[in-house]
Structure 1
Amino acid sequence: MAMYEMLMPAPAPPPINTERYARHDDNPVQRTAEQPVSTFSIDVDTGSYSNVRRMVQQGQRPPADAVRTEEFINYFDYHLPAPASRHTPFKVTTELAPAPWNAQRQVLMIGIKGYELPKRDLPPSNLVFLIDTSGSMEAPDKLPLLKRSLALLVPQLRAQDRVSIVVYAGSAGLVLPPTPGNQHDTILAALDRLEAGGSTNGGDGIRLAYAMARQAFIAGGSNRVLLATDGDFNVGTVDQRALETLVGDARKSGVALSTLGFGQGNYNDALAERLADVGDGQHAYIDSEKEARKVLVQQMQGTLLTIARDVKIQVEFNPAAVAEYRLIGYENRLLRREDFANDRVDAGDIGVGHEVTALYELTPVASEAARLPALRYGTAPAPAGDAREIADLRLRYKLPRATQSTLIDTPILATSATTRPSDALRFASAVAGYADLLRGGGGLDGWDWEQVRATANAARGKDPDGLRGEFLALIDQAQALTVPAAAMVQTGMD
């Protein structure tokens, strides 16, 4: 028996998780009298939410840095009003109400909604699928799911569209040269032939993909590379700065880049998000065919047609009305004050039908809930003044072919505050609370899981796609993952 045991092979070690997330700290509370201006770039990405959802549903506590609150908030549709015509690319709305977590604070919700456009009216698209077929892509939630996901996009393509397929695994290869979009069977057959094997040469793959995009370039159309991968580029061009330069140069020549993440274990979220940012594209994470349909069917128009570029938001708070404020999320989208009016500074883009939502937590001057202690030698208390305006909201954007930005300036009046917040504000606040708790809690006055769930449930509203009901279930699952660990720490059992 002992001899038999000696001959038994040792169990295989568990796979090493090499997923990478960019570190970020929550935005700090700002005293309005000292720092009245807040500036940031909009963000339409949603990859953080679906990636964290995958972890929670698998019973895994997500790393704090995997949680980007703005991507959680922007995952959901808040049914914001759209502009009346295409002459204005988007409509801006605001709402001011008591914060669900503390009635002595307020939440300012800023919403942007792009105009809608029927699919038949979209300009022609030149798409290059850049697909990772390295050996690590064999898992069911990687290349097999990727192929089924892109297959959902194919039936939407038209004769005026063009599709190419480039793969990379050890060396880059052209699977499908530029092909008319209505040749659905040809495109689907090329996808079906893909198999995983080899190491990853993302750098060479990107260069070949951009060569195909240039070959089939459509002037006045949408020219975009869709990069689908599970992880790092570990052969070839591996330096991130070199990749960013490559993607940035292509963006300037009219070819955008969006990223689609798949799988787990070696997923490089930080790189996928950054490349999409530099490439004027969107970053999404596909964890199921349902998510693929949401991203590649329901929301694909927004990906294909950009209606406003370099969209920046700047809010100047009135120190006579607001003692303190904090931007919830957007930590890696912050801009310097002088960047707002500098048209050479890149920012996020909005596509057809896109919604962007941002939340600020405010502490009114009359509130006793101020967080920052008084300074001994510093700024005196906020001067008395006209408190009829809470803030001045400024947005800058460029039309797709413009080089100079357009300014929208809207004062936010104290009289706009409501004591009966909309379902949209309450649900978005609950999503922000969920993200805060996943990151460790403490950012929203001790708002707990039960309170977050009650707020979300009361504001659930119509839920035709079931995403809000799924969110309620995620709250319960995440609470089960985090509360026992917190209890162990408190009792000294960690």
Structure 2
Amino acid sequence: MDRHDKPAIRRRGARFPAVVAALLAAGLAVGGCGAGGGGTNADRADVRTPKGRSAVPDGGNAAPREGEQRSPTPAPDYLSTFALDVDTASYGYARRTLAEGRLPDPATVRPEEFVNSFRPDYERPKDNGFSVTVDGARAGRDGWSLVRVGLATRGADRKAERPPAALTFVVDVSGSMDEPGRLDLVKESLGLLADQLRDDDSIALVAFSDEAETRLPMTRVGDARGRIHEAVDGLATRSSTNVEAGVRTGYDVAVEGHRKGATNRVVLLSDALANTGDTEAESILARIDEERRAYGITLFGVGVGSEYGDDFMETLADKGDGQTTYVSNSAQARKVFVDQLPTHVELRARDAKAQVAFDRRTVEKFRLIGYENREVADEDFRNDRVDGGEIGAGHTVTALYAVKTRPGATGTVATATVRWLDPQTRAPHERSGTVGTAALTGDIWGDGHDSLQLTAISAYFADALRGGGLPGAPSLRDLTNRAGAIADRSGSAVVRELADAIRQASGLLPSREGEKPSGEGELRSGDPYS
């Protein structure tokens, strides 16, 4: 099917022109044969680009920039281009919904957010750019494999060296936030954060219900921790939810308190159930876009509540070069606000995009799993006016492809290239990695592939919640067992939570026992991989 196997989805910009900011993903480093970084990898020589060689797919014929080397342009039908995405809210909200005995709406299930909720131990670069790790393994029969593209940035610098942060917190205090696990969790989180930030960081606080009110102007943390705690403790629920008023006021406060040389960010904490004022996210976005471009202010959305406006929050964060996550308990809130936010304010890359070029001599079909509303036109990969993702220190981004190789073919399968702008100078940079057929000879469920297996389990789980169709998909029972085995070997609580969520889903989804797994034999009618 050539290009037909590439998903026919909206080009990035048709719905939102900008995506993704600093990563605050749930962290897990699981070693294994398939991962980059510290794990062992028998296929490592096949997986990474040799030093001194740059194999870069190109969506056009523009002259190379100084210092760039480019390989011949591949056939356009064999290119896949997307903006980097580090959201995790979809997975967090799905877990909350399943724990309450309900299936998540398939429209809220985004596989890339399931996958990026776990952090493989990819090799880290020594500079401020990205490392590129490409690996994979067989998945099912009929020549199908899973190919993983892993990108990672260098960890955060010592606390004293990072730029200061100027954070404007916009807190929903509408009546719906009175439910346990909403405003009480937000207040607990902000109180913890106030004690973690540096003296030269700044905080502002805006509260909104039917109207918005500035509770604390932009204030240096230094000698004001008591004032900050007092403002947070005074938050109390009132009436309706006017997200528009909160966002507009929050950006006004952020602009007024803008600090040159600092990381300026608006953090929206809400159940995103807008019911007063402008309730359509797109109508609020022009203001966010204006301030994003003029001042570099990014938006980070933190969702709470058993009923949550997922699409609304994602749309706002997307337009604000931002990211979303979801918290439902104190442990998750502590991870985001104590373990991650204070150290992850430092940006490593702006407008980061990835382009994967598949070799038509070895590849018959391919499909990117997820990233539907992050796609970038292939020819815009090197158009730096087209927005990409903002990626912070110590972060990883994973993309997973289902790939059908040609029988008996050998050689390069795919070359993955990441392009980004330096956060300070805006100078463009690129880095590439490759994977060949020799790296895809092992079975994904074989021994020593825990990291790659975890990525596959997350993607297959998300796909099952959306209706299924991925080649080689195991049953939910098998996925539960495999996730449980990894949790036992690694001792990871977050992988154990994944196994529990899959088990809960298996009791809610219609049984498919006896059904032939896709990727083995004839695919189901209407399957996008047929």
1:164 to 192, 204, 208: 204
Distance 1:198 1:144, change over 3 A: same
1:68 to 110, 121, 125: 110
- Is the 1:281–1:303 Cα contact (8 Å) retained in structure 2? no
- Find the aligned partners of 1:166 and 1:28 in 2 and give their Cα distance: 48
One-letter amino acid of the structure 2 residue matched with residue 413 of structure 1: G
2:276 is the alignment partner of 1:276: no
Deviates more, 1:275-284 or 1:182-191: 182-191
- Is the 2:143–2:406 Cα contact (8 Å) retained in structure 1? no
Partner of 2:46: none
Instruction: Give matches, 1:248-267, under 5 Å.
Output: 248-252=289-293, 253-265=295-307, 267=308
- Find the aligned partners of 1:130 and 1:188 in 2 and give their Cα distance: 15
Partner of 2:5: 29
Distance 1:155 1:360, change over 3 A: same
2:479 is the alignment partner of 1:452: yes
One-letter amino acid of the structure 2 residue matched with residue 247 of structure 1: I
Distance 1:159 1:242, change over 3 A: same
Shift of 1:150: 1.9
Number of residue-to-residue matches in the alignment: 439
- Is the 1:325–1:363 Cα contact (8 Å) retained in structure 2? yes
- Find the aligned partners of 2:85 and 2:79 in 1 and give their Cα distance: 19
- Is the 1:314–1:394 Cα contact (8 Å) retained in structure 2? yes
Deviates more, 1:174-183 or 1:250-259: 174-183
Partner of 1:58: 100
Structure label with greater radius of gyration = 1
* Post-superposition CA distance 1:63-89 (Å, at most 9, x none): 111211000010012122211x2x332
2:459 is the alignment partner of 1:432: yes
Instruction: Give matches, 1:360-375, under 5 Å.
Output: 360-366=401-407
Partner of 1:394: 417
* Post-superposition CA distance 1:441-475 (Å, at most 9, x none): 23234521122223323444764551001111111
Partner of 1:4: none
- Is the 1:302–1:351 Cα contact (8 Å) retained in structure 2? no
One-letter amino acid of the structure 1 residue matched with residue 397 of structure 2: V
2:105 is the alignment partner of 1:78: no
Partner of 1:123: 163
- Find the aligned partners of 1:181 and 1:141 in 2 and give their Cα distance: 27
2:194 is the alignment partner of 1:141: no
- Find the aligned partners of 1:294 and 1:71 in 2 and give their Cα distance: 17
Aligned-residue Cα RMSD (Å) equals: 2.4
Instruction: Give matches, 1:234-253, under 5 Å.
Output: 234-252=275-293, 253=295
One-letter amino acid of the structure 2 residue matched with residue 196 of structure 1: T
TM-score, structure 2 normalization: 0.78
Shift of 1:33: 7.9
- Find the aligned partners of 1:480 and 1:28 in 2 and give their Cα distance: 34
**What is the SS of the residue equivalent to 1:120?**
coil
- Find the aligned partners of 2:396 and 2:309 in 1 and give their Cα distance: 26
2:84 is the alignment partner of 1:42: yes
Instruction: Give matches, 1:349-364, under 5 Å.
Output: 349-364=390-405
* Post-superposition CA distance 1:406-440 (Å, at most 9, x none): 22233433344452662111111011111111112
- Is the 1:129–1:225 Cα contact (8 Å) retained in structure 2? yes
Q: Percent identity?
A: 34
- Is the 2:84–2:397 Cα contact (8 Å) retained in structure 1? yes
Partner of 1:340: 381
- Is the 1:389–1:414 Cα contact (8 Å) retained in structure 2? yes
Shift of 1:360: 0.8
- Find the aligned partners of 1:282 and 1:34 in 2 and give their Cα distance: 30
- Is the 2:353–2:388 Cα contact (8 Å) retained in structure 1? yes
- Find the aligned partners of 2:490 and 2:329 in 1 and give their Cα distance: 19
* Post-superposition CA distance 1:286-341 (Å, at most 9, x none): 11111111222222156522210111111111111011111111111111111211
Extract unaligned runs of 5+ from structure 2: 8-73, 514-530
- Find the aligned partners of 1:219 and 1:42 in 2 and give their Cα distance: 26
Partner of 2:133: 93
